[in-house]
Amino acid sequence: MRGIWTTDHVRQAEDRLLAVTPEGALMRRAAHGVAVHAARMLAEHAGSVSGRRVVLLVGAGNNGGDALWAGAFLRKRGVGVAAVLLKPEKAHPQGLAALCRAGGRVVPLADGPQWIENADLVVDGIVGISAKGPLRPDAAELVERVTAPVLAVDLPSGVEPDTGAVDGAAVAATATVTFGALKPVHVLNPERCGEVVFVDIGLGDELGEPDLRRLDAADVAAAWPMPGPSDNKYSQGVTGVAAGSAAYPGAAVLAAAAAVRATSGMVRYAGHAADVVRWHWPEVVATGSIFDAGRVQAWVVGPGIGTGSAGRDVLVHALGQGVPVCADADAITIIAERPEVLDARDPDTPLLLTPHDGEFERLTGKAPGPDRVAAVREAARRFDAVVLLKGHSTLVADPAGRVLVNKARGSWLATAGSGDVLSGLTGALLASGLEPWLAAGVAADIHARAGELAARGVPASASGVLAAIPDAVRQARSLAP
């Protein structure tokens, strides 16, 4: 699992490390990483390193200092380097001196746009982890002029470091070189960061517990349920799916099929689409009603069940069975409209809610807003449930405050029925006995991989995503060391 730390925690860790490190050493290490990657980008985008032109956008703090030192290193490789200083009186003195010693030039702010237009590469050292609010007008104006590839130092300026939110002009980096720790922006707004390159500056021991976590392929592979020699169809966990209706059987078919694809255990379906489900997936044990469905180890309830009294009865029944429940779609609306249905829940029964933004707003009375991590954490605490907030980056929070981030792999999953596939996957993992927080995170990972595999650059349907689940699992397993 990769850890991700908020800027407050990174700053505290840096302070502790700085106290025991020779002055300037950390910055030079960071800047060296920037220069190495800048040279790589020049070679790739401009065809050579020596003789190329790099423009540094330099803000008032250490982020600008990193850029200035990187410029000094690039000079030594024959690169022409010009620095545009946003606040000349506050530019990092040692960095500036190093750049000037190496033959770099400082250009007036007014000439910045012209230099930027002729650059082969722009290095963004405007702000790093101490950024506050939207970019100031002079910085915003420079950023808007950039057409060359951009290498962001630590993070793309103008993107809020802890939430990934953008308000106004912001750098869209081709690559971001970050130091010491991944910060929330890198996983919450990956589009603005481009390729994220990590440079170790020895912060590891100082960081403590991460604020967010991301699953690696190895975590997904390790968590994925694999039958052992003594397993049978029951021992691997039976998934129950209560979804769809006679008029709208699609949700039922997709959710049940995703559970079939995700596990070699058994899948039961209960609802008015039993005939259609059975016809498409004969391996599903289908019945017309949840009340005679038999034992399961987890229920998926909601997609397409309607929000009336019949749907409510189904949800209340599932909540009273003493097994984990993944409540999605209509089940979320039912809970939002009548929170008392949760009284049926056995207090020890794990509940997993999987809202998209609209359902989240219905459920909590408030849209997730720019700080999605804070919003999902609060909802998890309030409902004493694991909450998976769908979005470009999917977030999974548990009541204890742990948050998993699943970085998007393109936008292909924004397609009808895609959520039904995710809830079926999640249900199968819950039934296998995975703890709900991890089950949701692993399901989101495989769902995103399947979406990417199904799409391969063209639109994908939910059925395509469903069909790609086995390959997604194979991919995660093959990437694990």
Ligand X SMILES: NC(=O)C1=CN([C@@H]2O[C@H](COP(=O)(O)OP(=O)(O)OC[C@H]3O[C@@H](n4cnc5c(N)ncnc54)[C@H](OP(=O)(O)O)[C@@H]3O)[C@@H](O)[C@H]2O)[C@@H](O)CC1
Query: Binding site for (6S)-NADPHX, residues?
Result: 62-66, 128-134, 154, 251, 304, 356, 420
Answer yes or no whether residue 70 interacts with ligand X by CB under 6 A: no
Give the footprint of K ion on residues 125-154 (CB under 5 A): 152-153
Identified binder of ligand X from the candidate list 27, 267, 301, 375, rule CB under 6 A: 27
Pattern of binders to K ion over 152-171, x per CB under 5 A? xx---x--------------
- Closer CB to ligand X, 63 or 364, in the complex: 63
Q: Give least dist CB 31 to ligand X, A.
A: 7
Q: Which two tokens stand for residue 320?
A: 């009273």
Edge-to-edge strands, sheet with 53-58: 105-107, 80-85, 53-58, 121-125, 150-153, 175-179, 195-199
β-pairing verdict for 386-389 and 351-353 = parallel
Task: Give the position of tokens 């207090």.
Answer: 347
Using an 8 Å Cβ cutoff, are 278 and 285 in contact?
no
Q: Which two tokens stand for residue 469?
A: 């689940």
Q: Where are the beta strands (DSSP E) in 59-214?
A: 80-85, 105-107, 121-125, 150-153, 175-179, 195-199, 212-214
- Separation in Å, CA 439 to CA 168, 393, 428: 37, 17, 9
Applying CB under 6 A, the site for ligand X has a residue count of: 30
Coil/strand/helix, residue 402: coil
Identified binder of K ion from the candidate list 14, 66, 120, 124, rule CB under 5 A: 124
Given the rule CB under 6 A, which of 46-54, 133-141, 381-389, 452-460 is the region that contacts ligand X? 133-141
CA dihedral sign of residues 297, 247, 289, 337? positive
399 binds, among K ion, ligand X, none (CB under 5 to 8 A by kind): none
Tell me which H or E stretch contains 360: helix 357-364
Coil/strand/helix, residue 270: strand
Applying CB under 5 A, the site for K ion has a residue count of: 4
Answer yes or no whether residue 170 interacts with ligand X by CB under 6 A: no
Give the footprint of ligand X on residues 38-67 (CB under 6 A): 59-64, 66
Using an 8 Å Cβ cutoff, are 86 and 58 in contact?
yes
403 binds, among K ion, ligand X, none (CB under 5 to 8 A by kind): none
Q: Give least dist CB 64 to ligand X, A.
A: 6
Q: Give least dist CB 29 to ligand X, A.
A: 7
Answer yes or no whether residue 375 interacts with ligand X by CB under 6 A: no
124 binds, among K ion, ligand X, none (CB under 5 to 8 A by kind): K ion
Answer yes or no whether residue 98 interacts with ligand X by CB under 6 A: no
* Contacts with ligand X, residue ranges (CB under 6 A): 14, 18, 26-27, 30, 59-64, 66, 87, 90, 126-136, 139, 153-154, 179, 201
* Contacts with K ion, residue ranges (CB under 5 A): 124, 152-153, 157
